[in-house]
Structure 1
Amino acid sequence: MKPISLKHHLRYSFLLLASLTLLPTTESQAQERKEEIRLEVTQKPLSQVFRQLEKSTDYKFMFSHDDVKGLQVTRKVQAGDIETVLKQLLEGLPLTYSIKGKFVYIVPKKGVPAAAEQSKKTVRGQVVDAAGNPLPGVSILVKGTKIGTATDLDGNYSLDMPAEGHTLLFSMIGMKNVEERVGKRTNVNVTMEENAKMMDEVVVTGYQQLKKNAFTGNATVVTKDQLLKTNNKNAIAALQAFEPSFRLKEANLWGSDPNNLPEFTIRGESSIGMNRGLDVESARRSQRTNLADNPNLPIFILDGFEVSVQKIYDMDINRIESMTILKDAAATALYGSRAANGVIVVTTVAPKPGELRVTYNFTGGMEFPDLSDYNLCNAEEMLQVERAAGLFTGDDPGEQILHDIRYNELMNEVRRGVETDWLAQPVRNVFNQTHSMNLSGGVESIRYSVDLNYNTHNGAMKDSYRDVYGVGLTLDYRYNEWLQVMNSVSYTVTRSENSPWGEFSRYTLLKPYYAPYDNDGNLLETLKSSNNIANPLYQVRSLGSYSGRTTLSDLTDNLMINLYFTKEFFFKGSFSVTRTDSNAETYVDPKDPSFASVSSKEKGTLQTTGSTSYTWNVNALFYYNKAIKKHFINATAGLNAQASKGTNTNILYKGFQLSNLHSPAYAADQPDKASVSESEDRLVGLLGAVNYSYDDIYLADFSFRMDGSSKFGRDDRFAPFWSVGLGINIHNYEFLRNNPIINTLRLRGTYGVTGNVSFPSYAAVSTYQTSDDWYTSTPANTLIALGNPALTWEKTGTWDFGITLEMFKRRLSIEANYYRKETTDQLSQLNIRTSSGFETFYTNAGTILNKGYEVKVNVVPYQDKDWTVALNFMMAANKNRITELGQDAAAYNQRVQDFYAGRGENADNEEYADLKFVPLTQYYVGASTTAIYAVPSLGIDPSTGKEMFRKRDGSVTHTWNSADIVVCGDKSPKAQGSFGINIGWKGFYLNTTFLYQWGGQDYNETLLSKVEEADIENSNVDRRVLTQRWQRPGDLAPYYDMKSDVETQPTSRFVQDNDYLSFSSLSIGYDFDQKLVSRLHLSSLGLRINANDLARWSTIREERGTSYPYAKNYSFTLSLGF
């Protein structure tokens, strides 16, 4: 079938919605005429007749069931308007009617006995929240009847009801229900309190909405309000405060770089993946924006469709209604082959009916670079280090004189005040701002919502930025109670650029007595007092180079159609199409010193990359929800299909004559043909799930999905994934029901199998590439990979057990979980005969086991009508272990050892030289995927100043040998989590979050590169060089002599405990009193101050953010509602 283009899909969606928009107008015109109603009933209960009329007309009937109880009618009305029908219908009955708008009120006749004859009265009032803000859309019902109404935009209501003896029930999602006995009052004002547990009561899995108290799966729900009070700039980072098993990886290279997409895991690493080579970029982990090859990332589901990490990263946080982290198989199995690493479901704010509402949020913030982890020498200390290292000591008197002259010249410069703060040169204190606006409204039948947002994120390094512009439109049409059509279109543009100042580590190496200016304040091309080192300030200010200048656009259209056959049985269909375009450029000025020795035709380069991708998603799902006495069934079955197709282009241009003329048209040469690649993959899944509960005590969940993927060969293209879960609500047993101490006691357990397909299709399918070389009259096709048609799916089997306990009116809640997650059939490279034309062949071999526990504790030690004090503590512990490996792991480990020993293909490659001094990842059965490999060290021998190593046989030697490398630590901590305190007083609130970890280790590369292996002659060093290096026999020192020429290779001396406590976030806010807000002609007004990454205490002292520094963030937010 020919695919429908994005252009045509958008056109059809627009026409459909335009026609739907006209429906209410046509309907209202028809209603201006008298409706012709026909009615014929025989011995039918009067209440059912009213419901029949509701379905055939636009009128709503309000009546008390007591008034019509036992009344049956037989009537035949050929044709008439509503009044004609009512007169004939109620003839001879002790009832009468009144019509107000589209509401028909059925009441007893005065003086005539009825089942429950009473007079009427009108009750009015206003409903507000605890801060005095009006609550629109609150449902108000006369308890025991069908009489009800809802509050308007200002929280006001008016309700005709029986005169006395009734109670009003006020209810709203997210708020605690309120019951008010009316008595003789005609004005009833109500204050509703927020129900902090309410959002947790429903778990949104993307395919289902389930009651949490009847769900056996493991999920964490985070609301919009919680996100905003934790990190109002980065929703992904905010999740760490609410789920201890979710943790961002430390970005020690890229720090606070706004263009660095975060890496994160849920419950540890479950896959090794395919990137095992000694690749420079992957070893240094410097790919800031490409997470495509990470086999351990969870997937994101946005309003039912899978999206990229980048889309969530750039998303306006004010659009988010909630984020749900799905962790075990019962919660994720419906995602089948994509769910092994967990699923994060994001739900956006839906449009609500009512008058036009406008909400506007402005956030202004300051970002300050955090350089507290750097401990570099000042100018005088640097000279002291150089002298101690013998740099000013000559071999003969003549040479010594020259060294003395050099030393005195430098010292004079230092005493003259030369003290260049190089760390401050490439960084800045910067102001950022975010604007977010939403306009929404409509009537019950058609609702609309418009979103506008603009976010500027200027980075801590000069001239780096990431700006996001977005607009969205949602139209929601509803016809009676059986049809809903909603279409949402969003367009987002992201513009970003890396800092032209280069990597921050460049400035950490420059000595403080190097001067970038001459005595007259002019920039120098080379640094004064240096050995002709290029002046980076001169380069940045005189060259037109730029790096990673990128424009990314995302156009998405989501169409949803819901058909409600009955209240219990309905269909939800959705279709989404997304087009993403990306264009990036990196330009190096022809005057750059790196081109000094090349011809003019090679001076200056322009690297351009472009990509276009289309993604289609289809969901067709049937739902059945039914309560039968004590049984409740929530069933889902349907189809999910998705496809993606992308094209990438890469072109290099050389030879530019002028700095400011750098378009491809001015290039002298294009040395190679454009590199063009295309990719396409498809996935289809049949799925079904049943959520069952009996008497709200016994719980069960069953789910199944059959996935088929184009990434696999013909032998194993389809695979089943499934889960089963059982639970029991002990608190609903009679002996614990309404217990004043124990409010909730739930036990649950689940098991299921999910999968992972994060690898390229050529691993399973032999793939040809068209060469840019021609053979006679046609281009040649080259087989680039030998596929394995029998390659199968990585599968993860997960056991999960949990207990939930809530006590003392839910002021104490404890949740504990234990899990065991085993991933089998790991993707592995098998060495084959080179006569085949290939060295490797992909197969399935290897198993990884993760097991651990999670604990969450929430306590409300004090609460009254004004004050709320809440404490929270969370902890997760995960143990990762490799239990089986393929033969490729042994071969890879051997290549690592050969590389350390100076053997192998990369041994003499200068790009790899610095990798010989740091631990490279290796894989052994019994160890974890994050283990640190080094040779065990007994420290520096006090008598000789040489290092003592322990060999595998237990003997001691002074010689480092790669054959003695063993596991000396693990980067994964034994425990991690968060804790905090939340305080509320009237309209004020204060929230804090601390993150912590303990029991993990790290390899302190700062001690290696800036202390023991410090290049004292050419770069600045850590101050510990002066105090912690061996100097003479008898010294107890952790590091070699300053004059030693030993090259230190991976040793346990630099493996240190990496325990830390981080003051992650602080939020202080105030929601203004409603009286003041009303005087300002507003519906809401709030102020909030956020601070992130305030402080960090760690057991390891190392430089963090070496390529891009970390930063502290402070912001204030103004929220207005009109």
Structure 2
Amino acid sequence: MNNNHILKKGARSYFVWTFFLVFLLSNQIFAQSVTVEGVIKDGSGLTLPGVNVLEKGSSNGVSTDFDGHYKIKLTNSNSVLTFSFIGFKTKEIAAGGKTKIDIVLSEDANTLNEVVVIGYGSVKKGDVTGAVSTLSGNDVRKTPIANVAEALTGRIAGVQVISSEGSPDSEVKIRIRGGGSLTQDSSPLIIVDGFPVNSMSDISPSDIETITTLKDAASTAIYGSRGANGVIIITTKSGKDGKISVNFNMFYGMKKMANEIDVLAPDDFVKWQYEYALLAKGNADSYEKYFGSWQDYDMYKGVKGDNWQKQIYGRTGEVQSRDLAIRGGSDKINFNFNYAHYDETAIMQGSDFKRDNLSLALKSKASEKVDLTFTMRYSNAEINGGGANEQNEVSSNDSRLKHAVGYSPIPMPGLTTDDTDEAVSGYLVNPFVAVADNDRQQFRKNFNMLGSFSWKITDKLVFKTDLGLDNYNYLDSRFYGRSTYYVANKPAATLQGMPALIMSDRKDVRFRNANTLNYDFKKSLGDNHNLKILVGEESINSQRNDVNTTLQGFPKFFDFDQAKKLTSQGKPISVDNYYFADDKLLSFFGRINYDYKDRYIFTATYRADGSSKFADGNKWGYFPAAAAAWKISEESFLKEVSWINSLKVRLSYGEAGNNNIPTGQTVKILESTPSAWIDGTENYWAAPNILYNPDLKWETTVTQNLGLDFDFFKSRVNGSFEMYKNVTKDLLINFLIAGSGYSSQYRNMGETQNTGFEATLNVVAIQKQNYGLNFSFNVGINKNRINSLGVMNGFNPSSTWNSAIDGDYQVKVGQPIGVMYGFKNDGRYEVSDFDFDGTKYTLKPGIANSSGIVGAVQPGSMKLKDLNGDGVVTVDDRAIIGDSNPKYSGGFVINGNAYGFDLSASFNYSIGNDVYNANKVEFTTSTPNGQYRNLSTDMADGNRWTNLDPASGQLVTDPAALTALNANTTMWSPYMNRYVFSDWAVEDGSFLRLNTLTLGYTSPNSLISALGVSKLRFYLTATNVFLLTNYSGPDPEVSTRRKTPLTPGVDYSAYPRSRQLVFGLNLNF
């Protein structure tokens, strides 16, 4: 504890006093006299920040502020002003005694001088040798979003953004080129202003300058142990020279549930209840108790039932966001201040999300050779509600959507759990009770400080040191009411049936220091040679502490709010304080950038990482990479081809590592266990809590990449093509072991492979001063394969939703990750498959018997294929029946503008992926403990097999009559003993979604300048506008079983996605 106190207190004092005082005291902010001023815009009328305005023939110059405004004092009223900006043509205008000059800059045909951020530095876009993609902050802010990761959807080739469901703070997974890890997380490393973070969820979209994605090892190897799954670099806004500018943005919108699962109407529900009672009970007593006699059935026709899905998920949600940015300063010191508030009342009862972000960035030129920066960021998020399901749920019985689908559409007064065994499956829970009894509240707080000192030792040598401190606190309170599976099964017998509360308090502290030396040879090697060398050292120390508290036995009438306020009324079952071993990383790295005649480019990097997660002998990992590029367009045979601006071929090879396992896996760690009784007294004793493995070593990904960049017709057409092969070896696998007293052990075993192709195309179709049209398109093709599993050939992980048979996914050598494993459906058993002796049906010889899987079979039962031909369907007759991996994925964007109006449409798509529709299985099956549940319309009257003669109200047994009764039905009977996963529940999940559609209008300056406003834009944005798919469920973009990455693509009790309409404005002063 003393060390933690010293670390926190010392680091904060260092940042606050050293950097802040240097900024405030070592420089003097002064105002510049103004003789000429104006606003600079592009051809579409948008203002341009950062344009260089220079008095020709002197060093007197300024830059435009965030609103494109500039002020400059000229030494001569007849001086010539030069306006220059990357990507635009330089323009010169004589002042001629004028005091106001507004200009429009035209885009330059050559955009290859744009700067691209890479690891520990930046390069010109034309000199990039790796697979790198960039998204501007303007593109991010065009979409009203809560999570920055959503802005990447469909924007970058080879990058999949997978939102698990539709909750306001739903988990968003990012996969770059498939990801290589097996049982561990394949998420990319995320870097914000040089500092590694766990996710993007607590970053304000309004604070982002650029997002750069590094996809191949030539780009990521500089990050060594953390770059195996790709790297995303986020650069936030910094200060700008010039007058203080104020930017205010806001939006307000409403959202509604987009789709729901159709269920049986009340009359059809009642009809099935009657047939079920006859099939299961042999009489109608259990039906007549609640619905009357069969002769009264007609009274239910036309009755409007309760739509529980709309009552739970159908409220009109509201979303609002406000952010304020203040930016300005001088050439000596400048700043950027940003505050953002996001508030969402979600479509689900009891569900909402709030977040506040505060940031301050200071940048100072302390002297001609010294630059200082200081950044502080604070984020505070509150998430209320348990959602539709949870990643770490105790049982799928507590999933909330199932109650809204399966609960009776009409009142059934007096129905209790004593009347049926349905309490086991939880379907007798009123949906409102299920929501209240599965409540949750989460708080996330994040505070970090970053500072840098840069010293230009000579004209060629620059030293830079970065320091960072990050504090993260996560509080999670989870309430289990009386109706939950947890309360009914987990506590001791005397406490079962009484509410419980589980609280978790997690604290993470991370400290980072990086030191780099950059040497630029400039012209030392002659005009044809350019050489830059970077060497550096980096250390990161991460600490984590968890406190988990379990309280049970609250008074039965307690709700979540009462349990939180009166925790003393619960019995403390456990209070566990975990101090995790420090995660320490020490790194040394270097990079060489060389080009000859700006035509032949070579880059080499090398990094050595030492990690405390591995034992001596395996601590260090070594990660080399090299890349070369050839600018073919600079060769004499293409130099004179006017329509080719640039044509470049890239080739790269590299290695990157992964140590993404918990700390303490290589040493024996003892924990206190109160489970031994001596003479009737509970005693504490110490035992190992893991089966450690001192031989663990680095997981390594080897990447080969071939790329082609092109820029044609004065940049009207540009893009890139990529081919790659990634092989990940020495996989860090959480290996299941039996007979040892432990459930699993981390081991290095196996190898995966990803090969693919990516294409990006950008086209400027129309580019005029008052109107324009452009579009961009990208596609990614990735094929995943397991090359080796070490001592294993394969295993079968379980999605654990409610399937009767575990192991519904398969991990096997030669197959991709994410394949579904189950039975092949063979329709249903027909009357002709049986012999009838007047009292019962018996399967004919040669007809496969599925009773061992589906339960007793009769005409109308589900029929499964007997793959091994032994006449009996068993678990050995399962096969691979689906693949969650898409064949193609990507997106395209269309942008247009005309006379102040702008229109943008963003699409994303996926082709060839399968979805495991577990809802389809559960909501078409009435098991023996599920009499009074509703079904989906897949089992509507006329579709489902029926044994009921509606005229007589009796079951039909005669073969001919039963055949005639079902001549037009297509489905089997819902009456079945188990939930069985077959290929009938595997559906094509291909889709095309219009993700966002925005219409905006920017007011002319002539109307607003008198008010002191430099820009005023109004816009309307619709999200999730339409979805084209053959998938029968609410939405194919879903993945709800997230306990393991090996079971993707399952649709079970997902929080429904919403459709949203937002009105917003951008106001700049």
Give the TM-score category using the shorter length. Answer: 0.7 to 0.9
Give the equivalent residue in structure 2 for 1:801: 706
Q: Could you list the per-position Cα deviations for residues 88-117 of structure 1 after superposition, in whole angstroms to 9, with x for gaps in the alignment?
A: xxxxxxxxxxxx9999xxxxxxxxxxxxxx
2:905–2:996 Cα contact (<8 Å) kept: yes
What is the alpha-carbon distance in structure 1 between the residues aligned to residue 108 and residue 719 of structure 2? 18
Change (3 A) 1:963 1:439: same
Task: Report the residue type matching 1:729 in the other structure.
Answer: K
Task: Report the residue type matching 2:332 in the other structure.
Answer: S
- Report the aligned-residue RMSD: 3.8
Among 753, 757, 762, the alignment partner of 2:655 is 753
1:124–1:157 Cα contact (<8 Å) kept: yes
Task: Report the residue type matching 1:269 in the other structure.
Answer: G
Q: 1:214 Cα deviation (Å)?
A: 0.9
2:111–2:715 Cα contact (<8 Å) kept: no
Name the SS for the 2:149 alignment partner.
helix
State whether structure 2 residue 753 is matched by structure 1 residue 867.
no
What is the alpha-carbon distance in structure 2 between the residues aligned to residue 879 and residue 946 of structure 1? 38
Task: Report the residue type matching 1:587 in the other structure.
Answer: F
Q: 1:400 Cα deviation (Å)?
A: 10
Name the SS for the 1:731 alignment partner.
helix
Give the equivalent residue in structure 1 for 2:813: 925
Among 555, 561, 578, the alignment partner of 2:470 is 578
Give the equivalent residue in structure 2 for 1:916: 804
- The 5 Å alignment of 1:64-213 reads 127-130=40-43, 137-141=50-54, 148=61, 150=63, 154-160=69-75, 168-173=81-86, 176-180=88-92, 182=94, 189-193=102-106, 201-213=114-126
1:581–1:610 Cα contact (<8 Å) kept: yes
What is the alpha-carbon distance in structure 1 between the residues aligned to residue 418 and residue 286 of structure 2? 24
Name the SS for the 2:641 alignment partner.
coil
Moved more, 933-942 or 556-565: 933-942
1:131–1:1071 Cα contact (<8 Å) kept: no
State whether structure 2 residue 496 is matched by structure 1 residue 610.
no
Task: Report the residue type matching 1:1111 in the other structure.
Answer: S
- The 5 Å alignment of 1:163-562 reads 168-173=81-86, 176-180=88-92, 182=94, 189-193=102-106, 201-249=114-162, 251=164, 255-273=165-183, 294-309=184-199, 312-372=200-260, 374-387=261-274, 391=278, 405-407=292-294, 411-412=298-299, 417-427=303-313, 428-499=315-386, 503-514=400-411, 536=430, 539=433, 547-562=439-454
- The 5 Å alignment of 1:891-902 reads 892-893=795-796
What is the alpha-carbon distance in structure 2 between the residues aligned to residue 837 and residue 395 of structure 1? 48
Give the equivalent residue in structure 1 for 2:598: 696
Task: Report the residue type matching 1:617 in the other structure.
Answer: R
Q: Could you list the per-position Cα deviations for residues 333-357 of structure 1 after superposition, in whole angstroms to 9, with x for gaps in the alignment?
A: 1111111111100000001133332
Change (3 A) 1:384 1:917: farther
Task: Report the residue type matching 2:124 in the other structure.
Answer: K
Structure 1 gap ranges (5+): 29-99, 104-121, 274-293, 519-523, 900-910
Name the SS for the 2:350 alignment partner.
coil
State whether structure 2 residue 779 is matched by structure 1 residue 884.
no
Task: Report the residue type matching 1:1099 in the other structure.
Answer: N
2:248–2:322 Cα contact (<8 Å) kept: yes
Change (3 A) 1:627 1:710: same
Q: 1:854 Cα deviation (Å)?
A: 0.6
Among 680, 683, 687, the alignment partner of 2:589 is 687
Name the SS for the 1:671 alignment partner.
strand
Give the equivalent residue in structure 2 for 1:651: 549
What is the alpha-carbon distance in structure 1 between the residues aligned to residue 597 and residue 77 of structure 2? 35
What is the alpha-carbon distance in structure 2 between the residues aligned to residue 1007 and residue 398 of structure 1? 29
2:909–2:990 Cα contact (<8 Å) kept: yes
Among 749, 759, 768, the alignment partner of 1:845 is 749
Change (3 A) 1:913 1:471: closer
Change (3 A) 1:664 1:767: farther
Change (3 A) 1:496 1:436: same
2:36–2:71 Cα contact (<8 Å) kept: no
Change (3 A) 1:1039 1:337: farther
Name the SS for the 1:504 alignment partner.
helix
1:1012–1:1039 Cα contact (<8 Å) kept: no
- The 5 Å alignment of 1:662-681 reads 662=563, 663=565, 666-674=568-576, 676-681=578-583
Among 663, 666, 688, the alignment partner of 1:783 is 688
What is the alpha-carbon distance in structure 2 between the residues aligned to residue 761 and residue 604 of structure 1? 34
Change (3 A) 1:530 1:406: farther
Give the equivalent residue in structure 1 for 2:984: 1053
Give the equivalent residue in structure 2 for 1:53: none
Name the SS for the 1:735 alignment partner.
helix
Name the SS for the 1:155 alignment partner.
strand
Name the SS for the 1:412 alignment partner.
helix
Name the SS for the 1:674 alignment partner.
strand
Give the equivalent residue in structure 2 for 1:765: 667
Name the SS for the 2:984 alignment partner.
helix
What is the alpha-carbon distance in structure 2 between the residues aligned to residue 806 and residue 172 of structure 1? 19
Give the equivalent residue in structure 2 for 1:286: none
Give the equivalent residue in structure 2 for 1:1007: 920
Q: Could you list the per-position Cα deviations for residues 576-599 of structure 1 after superposition, in whole angstroms to 9, with x for gaps in the alignment?
A: 111122222223457999979975
Give the equivalent residue in structure 1 for 2:21: 19
Percent identity reads 23
Give the equivalent residue in structure 1 for 2:851: none
Q: Which has the higher contact order (CA 8 A, sep 6+)?
A: 2
Change (3 A) 1:770 1:1003: same
Q: Could you list the per-position Cα deviations for residues 293-335 of structure 1 after superposition, in whole angstroms to 9, with x for gaps in the alignment?
A: x4211111000010011xx212210000010111001111111
Name the SS for the 1:559 alignment partner.
strand
1:446–1:477 Cα contact (<8 Å) kept: yes
Name the SS for the 1:241 alignment partner.
coil
Q: 1:240 Cα deviation (Å)?
A: 2.0
1:601–1:668 Cα contact (<8 Å) kept: no
Change (3 A) 1:445 1:553: same
Q: 1:632 Cα deviation (Å)?
A: 2.1
Task: Report the residue type matching 1:258 in the other structure.
Answer: P
What is the alpha-carbon distance in structure 2 between the residues aligned to residue 722 and residue 150 of structure 1? 40
Q: 1:671 Cα deviation (Å)?
A: 2.7
The aligned length equals: 976
Structure 2 gap ranges (5+): 389-398, 834-859, 947-961, 1036-1050
Q: Could you list the per-position Cα deviations for residues 632-682 of structure 1 after superposition, in whole angstroms to 9, with x for gaps in the alignment?
A: 223221011111111111111233346364346532522334353434211
Q: 1:1012 Cα deviation (Å)?
A: 5.1
2:277–2:286 Cα contact (<8 Å) kept: no
Q: 1:487 Cα deviation (Å)?
A: 1.5
Change (3 A) 1:641 1:430: same
Give the equivalent residue in structure 2 for 1:1041: 972
Q: 1:818 Cα deviation (Å)?
A: 0.5
What is the alpha-carbon distance in structure 2 between the residues aligned to residue 376 and residue 984 of structure 1? 45
Name the SS for the 2:191 alignment partner.
strand
What is the alpha-carbon distance in structure 2 between the residues aligned to residue 946 and residue 666 of structure 1? 53
Q: 1:248 Cα deviation (Å)?
A: 2.4
Q: 1:133 Cα deviation (Å)?
A: 6.4
What is the alpha-carbon distance in structure 2 between the residues aligned to residue 397 and residue 424 of structure 1? 32
